[in-house]
Copies of this chain bind each other. A is one copy, B any other.
Amino acid sequence: MRLEQAARQLEVLGNPTRLQAYRALVRAGPEGLPVGRLQRRLKVVGSTLSHHLRRLVATGLVTQERRGTTLLCRAHYPAMAALLGYLADECCADAPAPAARKPAGARAEEGKACA
């Protein structure tokens, strides 16, 4: 059921407002950004942003940490790496080898169209 998890994360990233927020966090790096700064940057109503951040956190793409009165948000990079890997890995895994037989134990590298 790994597919379900990936689909959930992709769906969460598939909303323009959420994608914008997530990208801002990715750009911000390990220091992250507080909710308020995100809100001002994206020009979105607070309650709406809160809703979106909740979904990002729920799927493991973003983490939050209290910092006094503000809430610090950070992109969770391992989750991003896993998701990208899920999409890119096994590319052409089922493709018939163009000419040569794949040697046993070797990953099919020939014909990789998504290099």
Chain A residues close to B by CB (< 8 Å): 3-4, 6-16, 19-20, 23-24, 26-31, 75, 77, 80-81, 84, 87-88, 90-96, 111, 113-114
Contact = CB atoms under 8 A, between A and B. Distances in A.
B30 A95 contact: yes
Number of copies of chain A assembled together: 2
Q: At the interface, is chain A mostly helix, strand, loop or mixed?
A: helix
A84 B95 contact: no
Residue from the set A20, A26, A81, A111 with the largest chain B CB neighbour count within 10 Å = A26
13 contacts: A6-B19, A23-B90, A26-B92, A26-B114, A27-B90, A28-B94, A29-B92, A29-B94, A30-B111, A31-B96, A77-B91, A77-B114, A80-B88
